[in-house]
Chain A
Amino acid sequence: MALFENLSDRMNHIFSKLRNRSKLTELEIKQAMREIRVALLEADVNYGVVKEFTAKVSEKALGEEILKSLTPGQQIVKIVYDELVALMGSTHQKLAVGDRPPTIYMMCGLQGAGKTTMCGKLALYLKKQGKKVLLVACDVYRPAAIKQLKIVADRVQTECFEMGQIKPLKIAQEAVKYALKNGYDTVILDTAGRLHIDEALMDELVGLKKEMKPTEILLVVDSMTGQDAVTVADAFNKQLDITGVIMTKLDGDTRGGAALSIKAVTGKPIKFSGTGEKPEDIEAFHPERMASRILGMGDVLTLIEKAQDAFTQEEAEKLSKKMRENSFTLEDYLEQLESMKKMGNLGDMVAMIPGLSGRLKGAPQIDEKQISHSKAIIRSMTPQERRNPEIIKASRRKRIANGSGTSIQEVNQLLKQFEMMKDMMAKMQKGGLRGLRALKGMF
């Protein structure tokens, strides 16, 4: 995952000098703290937050016990990890559900933060949990915002309530009536983007809050925001007493320091993050996992959850049996490719594997087009070929390339990849985690 990659790279680098050292001098620790400070500042963590963070870590790190302990380097990594977790909130905070229906979630934020897109993602997320979700178009200012929400609602197959460009409060009130009448238990209000210093528009939100009493007020923040993130979050929080934060665009190469600062300043938890352009690209935010990612320790839990989403239990059992018997065929590979599409970007997943995130710089991007090419190639093979790829010689390769609209080179590449995958699976059977390292050669 590109998320926090640069920051975790830098942290990795700083810690590689500390880890496994049996003795550390005060000077070395101070040097490391300076480097951590720069890494955090370059990652757009707020200046004040950085100051406090490094002061806290330094104080703990320079304590007697640490310097005298057997593994001071490890201890410091642990201190930084603990402080990072504390900074972001310690556990994942779920969305609250209202006492009586409908539960109302109000989205707010600056222009271009990604509120409308996030409304769709959140709707889909809640739908998967069995909720019936109504999206409400309260952005009556931006040209075509209503139409955008309608299309977004369509994509996630839920309804969009709109009344054109009248007062947002009126729309919200009517929407709740409509929701009650039509059995919707959850209502998401999409509001217009506004500057936190625009008093008239902020008043509108305050009015919405007072009348609608939303279950949650969620501030949507672009994760690429710089030092100003804190000013913005603070202003929204002071006026609306927000209940949570959603970080968007975390799939860029942003170092995402804004995420670190906002919790520290507002005290409000980050609840979700947006990680891609598709409606299903939303993740529950887990501070402790994020801290691991930042420190380059990988995020196995999220990986497992993603896999659970994509594979059924049965499929997983079948696959593991095949792995044990070493009877993995191209047909299974095809099935896997299908599931992978469900799981999301391959590069993202690889980065969650401990020890790999720091070493994958410059790895080729695996895009979905390539996966569909691979699928086309396998589909152009006969069942016999899929089971015994050894029989695929020159003339068959040519036929497969023609049949799938690809080139012989691509067919060769796929066959090679498949062999490597099979090889890797065999290794994983033998070596557990060590086998995972073989993955590196794959990408």
Chain B
Amino acid sequence: MGFFQKIVAGIKKTKDALSKKLFFAFSARALDDEFYDNLEEALLVADVGYEATEALISELKDEIFSRKIKKPEEARDVLKQLMIDDLDYEIPEFEYPLVILLSGVNGVGKTTAIGKLAHMFKDMGKSVVIAAADTFRAAASDQLEVWGERAGVRVIRHNEGADPAAVVFDAISSAKAKNTDVVLVDTAGRLHNKKNLMAELQKICRVVERELPQADFRKYIVLDATTGQNAVSQAKIFSEDIETDGIVLTKLDGTAKGGVVLAISKEVELPVTYVGVGEKIDDLIPFDATDFVNALF
């Protein structure tokens, strides 16, 4: 199943999905105030956020005015294109050796995403090692080891409470010794307003940059699609503190549609790279802006 089908399958599960609300808005007969009110509601309910919603609607109004659009169907295509433009980024190809670090707040699905990424690279014929740098949460390393086994990938771990940077150091040493293509770094969940934990994350990044300076180093923030406007704050602060390269959007198989990425895009211009659409090991797929937006409507 492709990205589009998987997302559509997700949306079908619910009656309250954004698509229904959007469908309702665009089934209006004229582009009047009521139409814009319904559109605003549809976008707000999808977690697009107040500012981004107002911005999208005002851009839409401009287009409608300048192109003299009268029909709601035409307006829908314009809005789609506006949203796609917001989300479509050129993402550079991976180069190897590659280090991918996942960070994010607690419970967004970092460890699961690491497992899925490991499987993906393994499928591409790459050698992979995982650094279990979440030494804080109880049994996090054990959880990762199960994923490592499923994907057939080595997991480097230390004891609970160990220095996460040391785990990363060991994983990189191991990767260097065995000429491994990909190092995946799982980190402990941390709320972005805890300065000392963010400093710990910076230290991990410094270790990677020092020990494997030639590597293609990608830092992704993992966001839960059910998260509301706080995701904007998360994306902002993580990118400020560790210069994040992109977003992994998880749990898109629920009823939340992750509209907050539109708000994020308006504020921090961070591309979505992968989306998680299920619990199975191959349920992580590359993001496609057109498919994503099409699935919303």
A interface residues (Cβ-Cβ under 8 A, vs B): 2, 38, 41-44, 47, 110-114, 116, 142-145, 147-152, 155, 195-197, 222, 224-229, 231-232, 249, 251-255, 257-258, 277, 365, 367, 369
Contacts and interface: CB of A to CB of B under 8 A. Distances in A.
Nearest to A42: B50
Contacts of B260: 226
Nearest to A43: B229
A47 B196 contact: no
Contacts of A254: 230
Q: Interface SS of chain A: helix, strand, loop or mixed?
A: loop
Contacts of A231: 14, 16, 255-256
A142 B143 contact: yes
Given A144-B139, A144-B146, A148-B137, A249 B226 contact: no
A253 B254 contact: no
Contacts of A42: 49-51, 229
B230 A253 contact: yes
Nearest to A154: B138
10 contacts: A38-B50, A42-B229, A112-B107, A152-B138, A225-B226, A227-B256, A231-B256, A253-B191, A254-B230, A367-B195
Nearest to A253: B193
B183 interface: no
B97 interface: no
B151 to A, nearest CB: 12
A148, A225, A252 — most chain B CB neighbours (10 Å):
A252
Interface in B123-142: 136-140, 142
B251 interface: yes
A226 B228 contact: yes
A2 B196 CA distance: 16
Contacts of B230: 44, 224, 226, 252-255
Contact of A228 (B47, B108, B147): B47
B227, B228, B231, B254 — most chain A CB neighbours (10 Å):
B228
Contacts of A227: 44-47, 228, 256
A249 B191 contact: yes
A60 to B, nearest CB: 24
B227 A226 contact: yes
Contacts of A116: 138
Interface string B186-212: 000001111110000000000000000
Contacts of B106: 112, 114, 249
A145 B138 CA distance: 9
Given A197-B254, A228-B254, A257-B228, A249 B193 contact: no
B109 interface: yes
B47, B49, B109, B139 — most chain A CB neighbours (10 Å):
B139
A255 B233 CA distance: 11
A224 B45 CA distance: 15
Given A111-B107, A114-B107, A226 B142 contact: no
Contact of B105 (A38, A47, A143, A224): A224
B196 A222 contact: no
B29 interface: no
B283 interface: no
B70 interface: no
Given A112-B109, A365-B195, A253 B233 contact: yes
Given A41-B44, A112-B108, 20 more contacts: A44-B229, A44-B230, A116-B138, A143-B146, A150-B139, A152-B138, A222-B227, A224-B224, A227-B228, A228-B47, A229-B226, A231-B14, A231-B16, A232-B226, A232-B255, A249-B106, A252-B192, A252-B193, A252-B230, A253-B192
Contacts of A148: 137-140, 142-143
B268 to A, nearest CB: 15
A64 to B, nearest CB: 29
B50 A41 contact: yes
Contacts of B14: 197, 231
